[in-house]
Amino acid sequence: MLRKLDFEEIVKARNIRNFINGEYIETGRWFEKRAPYDGHVVARVAEAGKAEVDAAVRAAREALHGPWSKLVVTERVEMLYAVANEIDRRFEDFVEAEMTDMGQPAHFIRHVDVPRGAANFKLFADIIKNVPTEFFEMATPDGRGALNYSVRKPVGVVAVICPWNLPFLLMTWKVGPAMACGNTVVVKPSEETPQAAALLAEVMTTVGIPKGVFNVVHGFGPDAAGEFLTTHPQVSAITFTGETRTGAAIMKAAADGVRPVSLELGGKNAAIVFADCDRDAAIEGTLRSAFANCGQVCLGTERVYVERPIFDEFVSRLKRGVEAMKPGLPTDPASGMGPLISQEHRDKVLSYYKKAVEEGATVVTGGGIPEMPEALKAGAWVQPTIWTGLGDDSVIAREEIFGPCALVMPFDNEAEVIRRANDNDYGLATAIWTTNLSRAHRVAAAIEVGIAWVNSWFLRDLRTPFGGVKQSGIGREGGVHSLEFYTELKNVCIKL
């Protein structure tokens, strides 16, 4: 069970330091990490400044050309498998870190976050071991010919800027392929979720990853560790998952030096529920897509379009499902929802709850702060919320809220709902609910997104491409598609 630690214990046992060139580095500047479910301090974190970021990048640059570069692919694969196995051995440590950082229910972390984190190292180890390259024979004027073949080389030092909503899963989704391809990395976790990165540094040390290959710098964004890292001239490439405005700032920083970026950004994802759907499956799927992780999922659903003949029934059943979700501690098996990540984020979400009412929304359920036990009142709790009565031009329908909420709107025909779903600045994901196979193919092809689910949500083979269109991002991650970012292809031409 989780327990509160008094300040003396925290100072002694929960100091999180930067990890640079295989060493733990203090800076004399500390910030506190508080548990979102009750507000108590779980860690003090050493904030990296420009000097520490520079040291981390230089260590990564040196390691790039050191022992790490001398390993053949099969040796690198063995080391990544060792990382995955050590994560499995320390499974409960990672579960506790994610619970105390995020407040997410333990059953979700145990079934998704930590297993996926370990799997990411094995997946990309297998891919880099088996990925094919090109080979061409060509004619030459002298008749002797030439051979052309391609080789993949690491892109260099990769800056990995991580989000706070699924911190371990999304960090390893980037670190795994980066290291598999022979790159070195400097990770900047969110200041809200520092613990998983710190644990992964311990894992890297335990399994013998060479010094400087994996580095962690802690801190904030503008005029802090994040900006120092993305503007560092010796960073070769930048991968970021997070808010769209931050992604735009990173693109500007990457332009200096013409460095590649991979950006997985915001979403205002639409679910489309046709009258011929399996209604039980559509209700269960929408409850998950709108309210999992307290709505803090980039792939989550905040717009729900329901065909008019089943609209009232759908809203009524969705309401019952939401009201059955009981908030509680992540260790409580009966908990159906954790808190938001922080008080600051709660203020943002509650501001949208207020805007919805001001715009004339009907609050079907929720809309405020739940009544919690005294011990949890300092947590960042909000009620899961459903609205109706607003249109596509409302703020609630257009701006990403990133909380446990959904605006449900009726539609009358297929062409209408496609047009309305696409009339948005974002294009990350959609979930389509129908038993009509032809319709499923038509609508999935027509929606402007990077991933379209039919009769499911959050179901994906990790070898498939993942990413968004429009303001939801640039580039694709997953399977061999990750290799396009983390490697440079070199052609070798041999004259015979």
Determine whether 307 is an active site residue. no
List, in sequence order, every residue forming a beta bridge with 117; answer none if it has no partner.
none
Residue 465, both tokens: 């491409």
Cβ burial, residue 3 (10 Å; 0-12/13-18/19+): exposed
Task: Tell me the C-alpha distance between 38 and 375, whole Å.
Answer: 7
Chain mean position to CA 422? 23
Helix and strand element counts for the chain (H, E)? 18, 23
The vertex-265 CA angle with 262 and 268, nearest 5°, equals 150
Contact 77, 125 (CB under 8 A): yes
Residue 422, both tokens: 């696409």
Containing 301, the helix (H) or strand (E) segment is strand 301-307
Amino acid type, 193: T
The string of DSSP codes covering 46-62 is EPP-HHHHHHHHHHHHH
Ramachandran angles phi, psi of 241, nearest 5° = -125, 125
Q: In what order do the strands lie in the sheet with 184-188?
A: 23-25, 18-20, 214-216, 184-188, 157-161, 237-241, 261-264, 473-474
Q: Identify the active-site residue in 162, 277, 298, 405.
A: 298
Nearest in space to 95 (alpha carbons), one of 8, 1, 11: 1
Contact 148, 176 (CB under 8 A): no
Residue 412, both tokens: 């009358």
Q: Identify the active-site residue in 52, 192, 264, 400.
A: 264
Compute the half-sphere exposure of residue 188: CA atoms within 13 Å on the CB side of its CA: 30
Residue 138, both tokens: 């060509």
Contact 20, 217 (CB under 8 A): yes
Residue 477, SS3 per DSSP:
strand
Task: Tell me the C-alpha distance between 372 and 187, whole Å.
Answer: 36
Determine whether 294 is an active site residue. no
Sign (positive or negative) of CA dihedral 380, 383, 386, 387: negative
Contact 310, 439 (CB under 8 A): no
Q: Please enumerate in sequence order all residues whose Cβ is within 8 A of that of 76, keeping only pairs 6 or more positions apart, or say none.
A: 68, 125, 128, 179, 180, 182
Nearest in space to 174 (alpha carbons), one of 189, 162, 192: 162
Residue 445, both tokens: 């092809």
Which DSSP symbol is given to 213?
S
The catalytic residue positions are: 264, 298
